Amino acid sequence: MPRLIDGQLDAAIVHFPVDAPELQLEPLFSEELILLVHTDHEWSKLTTISLTELATQPILLAPRSTALRRIIDRAAGNQRVALTALAEIDGVRLLASLAFDGFGPAIVPATAVPDWLTGQFVRVAIPELPKRAVGWATRRRPLPNKPTRATFDVLRATIARVGDRQPGITTNMSPLTK
């Protein structure tokens, strides 16, 4: 965010909410947070799991300092449970890879598990977790240049064309009023 605000970057894909009045924000999609479980794990037979049940075993989690972990911890707190980290892994792709390889169940965003990916894992829904909103951010001033606007147009068209095919992704988001 600092590099975007300073003008070192023309645009960024970000997770909402973003509290930066100097930025123009455009929602792209929302995504579910899911439990990724290796087929050898007892939870692989489930289609959904509660945060209360998740609290019974250590799981792979994002570090406490990340927005993803804050969402998870807030939802767990609302259920009056605390999740125990088997390990805190910085990087969604690494978190998903460790779950794929059976090192432990992991909470990841739906985009971490493309629909074409197959293997010895299952996606388990966690109904108490809110969806995570993802969007495009640019500075309000100066206005984005033509290549940046073109990139956004291609991104938005691609998401509209294929986004709803990805499990856990919703593309019908309303514009932000900020």
pLDDT tens-place string over residues 12-34:
999 888 889 999 999 999 999 99
Task: Tell me: pLDDT of 173 over 80.
Answer: no
- The count of domains in the chain is 2
140 shares a domain with 62? no
Determine the Cα–Cα distance for residues 38 and 101; give it in Å rounded to an integer: 7
Question: 178 pLDDT band (50/70/90 cuts)?
Answer: very low
pLDDT exceeds 70 at position 73: yes
pLDDT band for 175, please (50, 70, 90 cuts).
Answer: low
Mean pLDDT of 50-61: 98
The pLDDT value recorded for residue 32 is 96
Q: Look at residues 89, 107, 125 and tell me which one is the last residue of a structural domain.
A: 125
Looking at the structure, tell me whether residues 79 and 44 fall in a common domain: yes
Residue found under tokens 């919703």: 170
Q: Are residues 43 and 11 part of one domain? A: no
pLDDT given at position 174: 60
Q: Which residues have a Cβ under 8 Å from the Cβ of 59 and sit 6 or more positions away?
A: 35, 83, 84, 85, 86, 104, 105, 106, 107
Same domain, 102 and 142: no
Question: Per-residue pLDDT tens for 88-107?
Answer: 999 999 999 999 999 999 99
Structural domain that includes position 45 = 33-125
- Interval 57-74 mean pLDDT: 94
CA distance 71 to 82: 13
Are 162 and 109 contained in the same domain?
A: no
Question: Does one domain contain both 56 and 138?
Answer: no
